Structure 1
Amino acid sequence: MKNKYSYILPTILALALALGIFIGGKLHFNDTPERLFSTNSKKDKLNRLIDYIDYEYVDDIDTDSIVDITVNNILGKLDPHSVYIPKSEMDAVSENMKGDFVGIGIRFNMFKDTLTVVRTIRNGPCAKRGILAGDKILMADKDTIFGKRIPNSEIVDRLKGQLGSTVKLHVYRKSEDRSFNVLVKRDVVPIKSVEAQFMLDKEMGYIKINRFAESTFKEFKKALTNLQKQGATKLVLDLRDNPGGYLGVAEKMADEFLKDGKLILFTKNKKGKISKAFATSRGTFEDKPVYVLINERSASASEIIAGALQDNDIGTIVGRRSFGKGLVQREMDLGDGSAVRLTVSRYYTPTGRSIQKSYEKGHKDYYQKYMDRYNSGELVSVDSIKVADSLKFTTPKGKIVYGGGGIIPDVFVPIGSLDEERIKSLDATGYFSDFVFKFLEKDRTRFKSYPQKEFMEEYRVDDIIFERFIDYLLNAKPPIKFDYYGNESRIKSYLKANLAEQLYSPNAALKVKASQDKMLKKVLEIDKNVLDLMGADAALLPN
């Protein structure tokens, strides 16, 4: 005879099982069995330690800062490109990678403790309201924005705001000796990835890209289309000093040059899973000469494009060996407004080479390798580049390429002389820009009605400005001394370029600098059609 509970027991077990499935469906067990069944896991240790400090430690401690230090220390044990982004930096990082921000659309300097407009952004909010270069903005609504103790970051925060919001600016215009108020409506202001685009001659277009953000491909496509309309059948793609960015943007850009079905790259994660990216039929610059410029500061997405073209025997890579970053990061939200960019895979060029340089000796050694390259002579002579036969690969047409430590160019262009590099450094660190700004502040009316075309073709920096710049360098702290007169032509070119940038645009500045650009000259030397068209002794300065 069956027990009276024999029918009830299976029912209870069935209900318990169903309840367990229901509850389990509401939970998310992503941890290991040790985490589920132990109260002493590694994660618990960190959590408990922070709690103990929060509630029991004798002094008040900012545990947020402790957490930041802990996270950075953990990531410091990984590769050099896995990084922590604190909450305080997320907005700036996001804006840079998105390619725009909400603001009033000006570039400014703090001149004698006063915000002075260097240049308005074309079609931006301030440009539409008639703000001019040289205008001094004294107040934004009720906030004073002049004085020694106000950092630039705080001024930027006061000028930014919600999309569509307005800010009343109190402006002083020196050229008219008057003050006035103007109401400016904040709008989306682009952060340009395409720094310059112009024709080097009747056939050769030029595009300079400074990073790979969300907006980069759209900007690049627009620039390429514009150049093609002007007759470009050849292209110089300048990726020098470009640190990289989004992988997907680099893939789209490479697709413009590669035929349908060509491998762009593949990635491999820790589990061995391989993902491949192939070109499509959407490319608009296939079967046309393309020259990619790279240097020792070209990294990541820049190297993806250079590697994809080189391994598919497309175009010519010109310059010096690239940085050597072959790791892929994914940004992960940490739940409190901060994030971590964690390396999740390695990428490989179409021939199967990894161009990631070693980081086994730590982060300091990793970034010190640039100096090692300089000291070894690699930046001066291609013969000084160290390669390993074990990392030798062959392209479909039989060209030998190497993995490990960056992309080695097809055509090598050495670094400039010590003085040439010093002048570039002075430009990059703002000495030329600061001098030109102060020069313009003395009398902007001189250039008020100067047409850009006339300036580009006819204006020459005179000896008086040149001598004033030398005095400016000699009065710097510490004084800057080198062979000024032996580099007069280059210095005058950089002064004109900075004038062009502040009066017109960055595009105009790079047009001027083209006349002194050794890599561009090398491109013209190796492009026979251009040499036939321009002549071996023709000036490079574009119109």
Structure 2
Amino acid sequence: MWKYKRILPDKNFILGMCAGIGLCLYIGLYFFQNSFKQPVRKFGEVLNYIQKYHIDTIDNAKLVELTEAALSKLAKQLDPHTTYIDAQQNAVSRNHLKSQIEGIGIEFVLLKDVVYVLHVIPKGPADQAGLQVGDKVVKIDGHILKEANFNSNDIVLKMRGPKGTPVKVYICRNNTKDLIEITIIRDQISIPSIDAGYMVDSQTGYIKLSQFASKTYQEFIERTNQLSEQGMKKLLLDLRDNSGGYFETALNMAEEMLEPGKLIVYTKGKYKGFDTKYYANGKNRLGKLPIIILINENTASASELLAGALQDHDRALIVGRRSFGKGLVQWPIEFKDSSVLSLTVESYFTPSGRSVQKPYDKRINYELDLYNRYKQGEYFHADSIQLDKTIAYQTSAGRTVYGGGGIMPDHFIPIDTTAHSDYVNELVDNYIIQQYAITYARSNKQKLEKLRLEDYLKIFCVTEEMVGQLVEEAKKAAIKQVFITDPIKISIKNLLKAYIAKTLWQYQGFYSVYNKTDTTILKSLQLFNQAEALLQEDITYIAG
């Protein structure tokens, strides 16, 4: 028999091989560093030439501005979600997800160079200074808005500032000619993430979550506790139009609904040091509660991950329309000047292995994705959804789910075309209904303030006369006129009643009215038997 003999290389051979490998690594690193240094050096040289020889004198501030613009453009070329923002933009972005900010406490819209006040936070600085819903701000700290050419971000920056500092606004109220001067002292403002939370019926709790901010989880715990005390046996969690926010907040919420040890989400990328798996740590406080989660095309990022995790573990029934499809992980790199590069480094995956992220190789298609979905009829017919179904995944109980382009709902519910006609959408987009509601609420303040929300829901009716007045306001605003059919009239009446309620009881009032005719809400309430079946892992009962 032929015997195998292990032959070991001698010492000199090993040393020579190590030296060769080291030399190759050195040469490779040298050329990589130099190839990387070349564009950096070139960029510096270009700036130097501009500063020294350009026909116009360009100061350093202008060169910094040009450099910031170049970095921003570079970031945008990498993928749809890598961004570079300067210090000022970073301050606005960072404040957006804080549950507390320092400012004056209003919600506004910029209409024709006028700040129109839509909501004033009760007992906030603006409220205490006398600013009212419906006021029109035409001047801020000496800046006349028509002349200053401010955009909405500029207004936000002017309104916000350190606690205890003043901001002076000049307003027009009730269309009077003389401006009213109001000085507002900035203070801490609490911004809730839960727009509404109430009992839809004797057993079903409803929570409308607008974002995942720093205190969202705490709000969620408090609101679910309140609803449980009121008899909640089922939960309807509305994540429609929720664009995401803090990933950790979504994780904490998932742990309230998943058994200990369940995988919530994991990440994968080129640099393996970032790869992470996130598991539920044992809270599961709502573990026995049937849950339905509502999503739509504007449900994105953290809200998609929460919905995906609960769907993969057959823990919640997902109802609505396909979500946005944003599943990339950004690493925020903050520089000394407080500018930030949010660099995409990994992708999120749901427990079954689905990537939430939709394709972005053709950027024009990515940017027009929601528009294309609408044109292709996806919002109206489930058969029109263009998603690669050749790659399927399995939930814990064996149900088939798909990835690569958002979260597909278990039950598709189309847009209600009667409630979202082009005419009604224009009335909302141009703030015709909102302005009429504010004017009506102000004119009938004494009568309306005597009502509780429960009484308002039962007895208040929008009259034909009010609809007629609203249509006349639309004509003045050059909204294209249409024949007012009964469905359009019903939609206008419901929206008008909802926006009047918002002026009195904030978003709690709005959704308490609006949801009574929301087809997605009404149909979801009929699906809780299937959400209950998921708890029993009876997948034969799920329609799919």
State if a TM-score over 0.5 links the two structures: yes
In 2, distance between residues paired with 1:37 and 1:173? 64
Q: Aligned with 2:97: secondary structure?
A: helix
Distance 1:85 1:115, change over 3 A: closer
Gap change, CA 1:419 and 1:235, over 3 Å in 2: closer
2:54 is aligned, of 52, 57, 65, to: 57
Q: Give 1:474 deviation, angstroms.
A: 2.5
Residue 128 of structure 1: CA displacement? 4.8
User: Secondary structure at the residue paired with 2:78?
Assistant: coil
Deviation at 1:182, TM superposition (A): 7.8
User: Residue deviations 1:142-192, cap 9 Å, x none?
Assistant: x457774464666655543322345678889879xx999987543211233
Are residues 1:223 and 2:223 paired? yes
Q: Describe how 1:481-496 pairs up with structure 2 within 5 A.
A: 481=482, 483-496=484-497
Match of 1:285 in 2: 286
Partner of 2:270: helix, strand, or coil? coil
Distance 2:335 2:394 in 1: 43
Equivalent-residue separation in structure 2 for 1:223 and 1:336 (angstroms) = 39
- Equivalent position SS for 1:505: helix
Classify the secondary structure of the residue corresponding to 2:308: helix
State the partner residue of 1:329: 330
Please state how far the C-alpha of 1:465 moved relative to its aligned partner.
Answer: 0.8
Q: Kindly indicate whether the alpha-carbon contact (under 8 Å) linking 1:115 and 1:146 is maintained by their aligned counterparts in 2.
A: no
Whether the 8 Å contact between 1:419 and 1:482 is mirrored in structure 2 is no
Asked if the contact 1:470/1:484 (under 8 Å) is kept, the reply is no
CA contact (8 A) 2:134 2:435 kept: no
Give the CA RMSD over aligned residues: 3.4
**Counterpart of 1:420?**
420
Q: Is the 8 A contact 1:353 1:391 kept in 2?
A: no
For 1:91, give the aligned amino acid: A
**Residue number in structure 2 paired with 1:517:** 518
Which deviations, in whole Å up to 9, do the C-alpha atoms of 1:41-68 show, x marking residues without a partner? 2222212222221233222343233223
**Paired position in structure 1 for 2:160:** 160
Is 1:47–2:44 an aligned residue pair? Answer: yes
CA–CA distance in structure 1, aligned partners of residues 137 and 487 of structure 2? 41
Verify: 1:384 aligned to 2:381, yes or no: no
- Verify the 8 A CA contact 2:317 2:531 in the aligned structure 1: no
Contact 2:290 2:531 in 1 (8 A): no
Amino acid at match of 2:371: M
Per the alignment, residue 262 of structure 1 pairs with 262
Q: Which residue of 1 aligns with 2:13?
A: none
Indicate if the aligned counterparts of 1:257 and 1:285 stay in contact, CA closer than 8 A. yes
Tell me the residue number matched to 2:253. Answer: 253
User: Which residue of structure 1 aligns with residue 207 of structure 2?
Assistant: 207
One-letter amino acid matched to 1:50: L
Change (3 A) 1:119 1:247: closer
**CA 1:356–1:296: 2 relative to 1, 3 Å:** same
Question: What amino acid is aligned across from residue 523 of structure 1 in structure 2?
Answer: S
Percent identity reads 33
TM-score by length of 2: 0.82
Residue-pair matches, total:
498
Tell which deviates more after alignment, 109-118 or 468-477: 109-118
| DSSP 3-state at the match of 1:77 | helix
Deviation of the 1:255 alpha carbon: 1.2
Q: Name the CA shift for 1:114/1:356 in 2 (closer, same or farther; >3 Å).
A: closer
Q: Which residue is 1:7 aligned to?
A: none
Q: Distance in 1 between matches of 2:389 and 2:443?
A: 60
Q: Could you tell me whether the CA contact under 8 Å between 2:169 and 2:182 is conserved in 1? A: yes
1:470 alignment counterpart: 471
What CA deviation, in whole Å up to 9, does each residue of 1:68-118 have, x standing for no partner? 332233223211111222333222111102233212223457899887755
Letter in 1 for 2:506: S
Name the SS of the counterpart of 2:202 in structure 1. coil
Structure 1's unaligned 5+ residue stretches are: 1-30, 532-543
Query: Which whole-Å CA distance do the structure 2 matches of 1:372 and 1:514 have between them?
Result: 28
Q: 1:154 to 1:359 in 2, by over 3 A?
A: closer
Aligned 8 A contact 1:138 1:172 in 2: yes
Structure 1: how far apart are the matches of 2:72 and 2:426? 31
**Would the aligned equivalents of 1:202 and 1:232 in 2 still touch at CA under 8 Å?**
yes
Give the Cα–Cα distance (whole angstroms) in 2 for the partners of residues 259 and 376 of structure 1.
40
